[in-house]
A and B are shown apart, each in its own frame.
Chain A
């Protein structure tokens, strides 16, 4: 289990790169890497040479997250102005612009079947679910407010939702908040199930294990990665090693490893059997905002790939084997 650097693009964007995801391969083309940046653009890159396929403008303020539909034909990007732009990957034609005021938009993810887009709704303390056929809002999963003498400022800003993740069976959505709590929802009933506790600082990234729909990984500003049994409400392990905030976490398609990106400028690979970091990549010179494993399937080389993007305006591609 190791990572080997393949290619890095310096100045891939004019400003910090804040988001990255892989657009799955289609019958006509291989998987593409989609990146979003503070420079208000979204770019498409073709592996392994990372040649720039296209630059999409049209966002105001920085692009904070990007998401790709499992079919590989549709992608979404969201920026600080709280608009979600949905576009056709191959033609760049705009499909929809989503907005659900007063929620702002942070992390987004399509469900595994591609029927729903989940959007972390920031200060609204909720996750919005959008239907991907008609692009209508179908549900708002709200975190129940804690009972207290006064529903003051603090509580609401604490439940600010930053991150969202679908379970591989599509039955659950988990979202992470500024106060470190993770909330788990039953999608079918649009119902809040329970909290997962353990973090006390913002949870910026969440991912379910592709191998086990119960296992959830969370990355937090407390420099830890937690591994939860999301159904049993229990914490399986807490993994430390990063020197600063853990900004992004992704699980490898084989389910044996996870990768994390951190403010400490490193990308780490964690062996889940040892529950320890087995490799640290330090090729970035500023915070690493996104790490993403390439999903399996499609034509082209079959080897595992991991991409990372950073505040240093660069993106890097690694071979994962």
Chain B
């Protein structure tokens, strides 16, 4: 029990005051103190006692009384005590100011404190304790430099002033000069080894900050030795333990925290840590209690922020995002700079994402990123946010950075891959592959989605084998392997019931009966579907259909599988089954726009126009008109309605075309990149004769359509070719048609062959035209129109050859052959038209037959004439050659004559000599007679030669003989010349004679043709009959083509996949979405006319 003795004035007595029994009312004591004029140090002691007992009012009352004017005057010479009282008050107010949270009152307290310190200074400028107090005050106010100055003044006076040393240490500490701070703390300890634990705490903190964890730990432990109840040391030690991150240490740390809490339940730091602990153990109730207490007991911003953060986290994890968001906000508000404590920003961002406040979340995450620019999680989150905001490029940038920073973060690569999948499949594939190998390396199972996506990208890039591998890997073991490897026991089905083969589920029941497990887990359905799609692409249709059926067997509501089966049936032209399958799909969902669209297509194929239109309407309504496929289909419907009738109604045609254009345009407005709508618009434009514009359109569409396995648009190639054709650019048109045939139809489309033939026809390439038509007939033998066209082509070829002024015999001969073929073809058609309905007017065919027969007769005459002419030509040539030979012969004969003249002269001479001798020798006369006989023989030869000459028309051999002979005798030659001369005019005559009938025949020909044409005109064929004939069937066929396979088929075939493939997880939804694309498939087909 401590007592204070107040000396009674003017006596030796003292009043004993028991310090622990100070009166409640301080006025009692004050009265005594004043009355006895007690020394001021007693006032101070009593005030301090009150302070210790927490009786702050009394404490203040005494001190204020003790610093009043009266006292000043009375105790004017007692300086130190007065200063001490003022300093005590100053310190008191400093503390109040420091603790106060409200700014105005805080300043108020600081002013009070300043006032008291100034007063103390006025009493003694040099009192160190005043300076120390002022330093503390400045420190509290955050004016570190001035505080430092104050402490330094003291230290200059007394370098061992412990208070100043500690103050300065604090200054250095808050400046971040932990080393200096540490030395100051140490000096204080040396000067005053018994100083309170707080000094050692300071040392501990400095060591901690300097990273000397061991020393820090020692310092805190020493504090605890001195004062086992020192909460701060306990908490600090606990934090150190927690930070070791070892389970045992953490447990020890938490025990210390707990002890600290038991010792002093209002240490905010301990409360926060405990709350943190309970957050992780999931005891949210405790978290809330602890943090609320912490919030109540502290005004320290960062600590409060921490508490709010804990509270927010607790709500966050409970899913109460609203409350969590509120507390995160509170936490954030306590923070000056995000760098101080960044977690609540992250939490706030997360909660805002949940609440859909994407923009706010974005700014919060960006703040986090400023502090931790390399934080993968944040980068990824930002990437996702940008994806949601549609800023793909930024998103990519962030995800790429995340993947770069942590090249072992599979998740980052997965995210990146998913992001890239729609823009850059190559990069996406790389990302997915990296993720896959990372996952594999980490021994984790690669999620089926990843493998699915990899496979789908391979699929899109037409790397079908790789796609197959990945799908198989994704699916793992299962009943499907049995089908893939073809091991399932097939069984026979009745051929008539095979009509329904794609609906048959027996196979699975049998397999189950045989003890196989037919299982298909839900997460594999999409992949299995994709695999089936791939098999279709690989033309393994049967297995694909089995897999689709497997899906339906297990998941009968999987509409897409029905649609695919329907598409397969449709591809095989099994329309009844296809319609039935689509109807099954519609029983699952009678509003399914895809099924409705497909049904519409099927109805069109069945020539059920009115029904089809209604179905398309229903499809359009099912999607509120947003579905471009249905709109496109309606557009196409209108287009075909416009060109449907053979006898066109111009008014109706215009209306339909206008409507079609409107519908195409509507689609284009919604989806500017819709190829099919652009194609349709091009068709309408071409129909109206704007070829240049439509050509541009088609060219663009063609470019856009190339390069994807899922977009097959042969129509645009055909349309482009049609435009070239219409513009007279036949060569290009031919090329286009041929390319299209090769690229899309394996050269099997007879309709395009017909277009090609027509182009050849217009270009007057008759043989090409005929050959093209023959190929077309070979491909579609039952199309008699093609035979008719071939007949027309041959007829036209013949007529044009006969009209030529110059023609060879071969040409005329082949003309006759062609005409015979044409006659045969037409006659066959005529005969067939009796038996079957093949769309031909028998009269018309007969007209053709008649005409061709006429032509044929004429042609035969022509042929004969031509053959004769050819013969004569040959003769003439022969004669010319003979003339040349004769000339030569004559020249030679001349020489010979000269020679013979010479000889004769010699002979004459000889004769004279001989005549002179004649008389003398008779033997010599005999020689002379022998020469004359030889001459006679020559003569006979000449006759022979003439005979040969007569024959020479047929035999060339004669010539040579003559040549040999001609050299022999000049007489012979002369005669031959005569003959030749005589011959020539004759020949000429003959020629003239022949030619004239020839001309007549030509005239006749023309007449025939004119007549024939008159007849044709009468029969309803105009002059360019052939053109029309070729065109008419083509337009008829064209319509068929329009709805034929390629187009709609793909609608359902290719597109759906592409959709399904993409997002495994979101399959159904997605597929719906993507179906839209697929729908655009529909194509308007062509046409020129």
Chain A residues engaging chain B, CB cutoff 8 angstroms:
15-16, 18, 38, 60-62, 64, 80-82, 101-102, 104, 106, 122-124, 152-153, 156-158, 160, 162, 178, 180, 195-201, 221-224, 228-229, 232-245, 263-265, 274-276, 286-287, 311
Contact = CB atoms under 8 A, between A and B. Distances in A.
Given A197-B496, A263-B747, A123 B573 contact: no
Q: Which 9 A-B pairs have the closest CB atoms?
A: A200-B573, A160-B782, A240-B541, A244-B746, A222-B572, A263-B746, A102-B831, A153-B837, A157-B782
A16 to B, nearest CB: 7
B492 A235 contact: yes
30 contacts: A38-B775, A62-B774, A64-B778, A82-B824, A82-B828, A101-B828, A104-B781, A104-B828, A123-B832, A124-B835, A157-B838, A199-B572, A223-B539, A223-B541, A223-B572, A224-B541, A233-B494, A233-B495, A234-B493, A234-B494, A234-B495, A234-B498, A235-B493, A238-B501, A240-B539, A244-B745, A263-B747, A263-B748, A275-B486, A287-B747
A241 B535 CA distance: 9
Given A102-B831, A152-B837, A243-B539, A275 B572 contact: no
A123 B746 contact: no
Nearest to B575: A200
A225 to B, nearest CB: 10
B821 A201 contact: no
B540 interface: yes
B820 interface: yes
Contacts of B496: 197, 233
Of the listed residues A61, A81, A104, A232, the one surrounded by the most CB atoms of chain B closer than 10 A to its CB is A61
Contacts of B501: 198, 235, 238
A102 B835 CA distance: 9
B654 interface: no
Contact of B573 (A101, A153, A201): A201
A228 B748 CA distance: 26
Interface in B752-795: 771, 774-775, 777-778, 781-782, 784, 790
B539 A242 contact: yes
A289 to B, nearest CB: 8
B571 A222 contact: yes
Contacts of A18: 778
A243 B778 contact: no
A237 B486 CA distance: 12
Given A82-B828, A198-B498, A287-B747, A162 B542 contact: no
B542 A238 contact: yes
Nearest to A233: B495
A180 B842 CA distance: 29
A102 B492 CA distance: 39
B490 interface: yes
B831 A241 contact: no
Contact of A178 (B539, B781, B790): B781
Given A228-B495, A235-B498, A123 B571 contact: no
B574 interface: yes
Interface residues of B, number: 47
B65 interface: no
Contacts of B828: 82, 101-102, 104
Interface string B476-501: 00000000001000101111101101
Interface in B806-838: 817, 820-821, 824-825, 828, 831-832, 834-838
A196 B486 contact: no
B490 A236 contact: yes
B985 interface: no
Nearest to A102: B831
Contacts of B782: 122-123, 157-158, 160, 178
Contact of B748 (A106, A237, A287): A287
B495 A245 contact: no
B738 to A, nearest CB: 12
Contacts of B1020: none
B515 interface: no
B714 to A, nearest CB: 13
Given A80-B778, A233-B494, A235-B492, 5 more contacts: A158-B782, A222-B572, A229-B492, A235-B494, A264-B746
A286 B781 contact: no
Given A38-B774, A244-B748, A198 B540 contact: no
B498 A286 contact: no
B821 A81 contact: yes
Contacts of A158: 782
Contact of B774 (A80, A101, A233, A286): A80
Contacts of A38: 771, 774-775, 778
- A contact face: mostly helix, strand, loop, or mixed: loop
A152 B838 CA distance: 9
A243 B744 CA distance: 11
Given A15-B771, A38-B775, A180-B573, A237 B821 contact: no
A238 B824 CA distance: 41
Contacts of A60: 817, 820-821, 824
Given A60-B817, A244-B746, A106 B499 contact: no
Given A200-B575, A233-B494, A61 B838 contact: no
A275 B501 CA distance: 17
Contacts of B836: 123, 153, 156-157
B488 to A, nearest CB: 10
B839 interface: yes
Interface in B109-145: none
Interface in B1051-1082: none
A258 to B, nearest CB: 16
Contacts of A243: 539, 746
Contacts of B790: 61
Nearest to B543: A240
Contacts of A62: 774-775, 778
A292 B1060 CA distance: 43
A28 B486 CA distance: 46
Contacts of B499: 197-198
Nearest to B569: A200
B490 A275 contact: yes
Contacts of B494: 233-235
A92 to B, nearest CB: 21
B495 A235 contact: yes
A222 B1045 CA distance: 11
A127 to B, nearest CB: 15
Determine which residue in A157, A241, A276 has the highest number of CB atoms from chain B within 10 A of its CB, and name it. Answer: A157
Nearest to A285: B742
Nearest to B571: A222
Contact of A240 (B540, B820, B838): B540
Interface in B549-574: 571-574
B504 to A, nearest CB: 11
Contact of A245 (B542, B746, B774): B746
Contact of A156 (B486, B492, B831, B837): B837
Given A198-B501, A200-B572, A236-B492, A102 B746 contact: no
Nearest to A178: B782
Interface string B721-747: 000000000000000000000000111
Contacts of A162: 781
B797 to A, nearest CB: 13
Interface in B66-101: none
B781 A106 contact: yes
A162 B782 CA distance: 9
A79 to B, nearest CB: 10
Nearest to A245: B748
Contacts of A264: 746
Given A200-B575, A275-B486, A287 B493 contact: no
B784 A123 contact: yes
Contacts of B781: 104, 106, 122, 160, 162, 178
Contacts of B541: 223-224, 240
A276 B817 contact: no
A295 to B, nearest CB: 26
